[in-house]
Amino acid sequence: MPLCSAPFISWTDSCTRSYVEALPPFIAAVLAALFLIPLPSSPTSRALAAPFKPYLTIPEAEALVLDDPNTNERVAVKPRPPLWRTVCLSGLAMAELIAWVTLASYQLVATHGEFTYSTTTDIIRAISWLSAVLLPIFRPMATAPYDLFAMYLFQASSRLFHFSTVWYDFQTTSVHPSFLGFAGHGVDLVVVTFLLVVVLRMPIDLPGSEIIAEQVVSRTLCSQYG
């Protein structure tokens, strides 16, 4: 991986800025993917996985409590998210992934196969969207997914950091950004903001089909700690 010649913490170095923009969303995406792998239960693993573990919804708890062991008939079923939301979340994430791969491929051709820091960080950005493409498909949720929210939040912070560096360059050196680059990052920020809005509008919990809240809580706690 091409590294920067300047010290890593350097506000004025474009190479350093590029890695600072790309690495936090990449790390968040990798952690979200790793926490999907079953790990041996321990206080450390539970503490690390807690921010990425969704709450058990009331219908899901009812499905556990109201299962009939004789007929195997589930009274309450796990709620499914609407199809448009899954298509929206995965589709826009796929568009982001394709856009960054396309940009990295163009730069690779333009530099005659030489991996510059810009090409490398664009590939990192593309990989950081892979989890956002797969999670809504293979683990659809009717309630707000905290792992996706964390990834979108890191992506939005990365875009805001980029615009802050553009503003800094303009104020200190009067360097004007290219129109295509500025417009592309603007569209990117709009997409990330829209994904955040979609997740923030998702319910944190869903009403149950049966009014048995006390029974659900008591039986669920007994099954977990009894």
Structural domain boundaries, residue 193: 14-32+80-211
The answer to whether residue 6 sits within a structural domain is no
Number of domains in the chain: 1
The answer to whether residue 180 sits within a structural domain is yes
The answer to whether residue 158 sits within a structural domain is yes
The answer to whether residue 5 sits within a structural domain is no
* Cβ atoms < 10 Å from Cβ of 122: 23
Please tell me the distance from the alpha carbon of residue 62 to that of residue 71, in angstroms, as a whole number.
Answer: 16
The answer to whether residue 187 sits within a structural domain is yes
The answer to whether residue 97 sits within a structural domain is yes
pLDDT-based confidence at 156, cuts 50/70/90?
A: very high
The answer to whether residue 63 sits within a structural domain is no
Compute CA distances 220 → 55, 71, 213, 225, whole Å.
13, 21, 10, 9
Please give the pLDDT value at position 211.
Answer: 44
Put simply, whether the predicted model's pTM sits higher than 0.85 gets the answer no
The answer to whether residue 145 sits within a structural domain is yes
Summarised one tens digit per residue, pLDDT across range 55-76 is 555 555 555 555 555 545 544 4
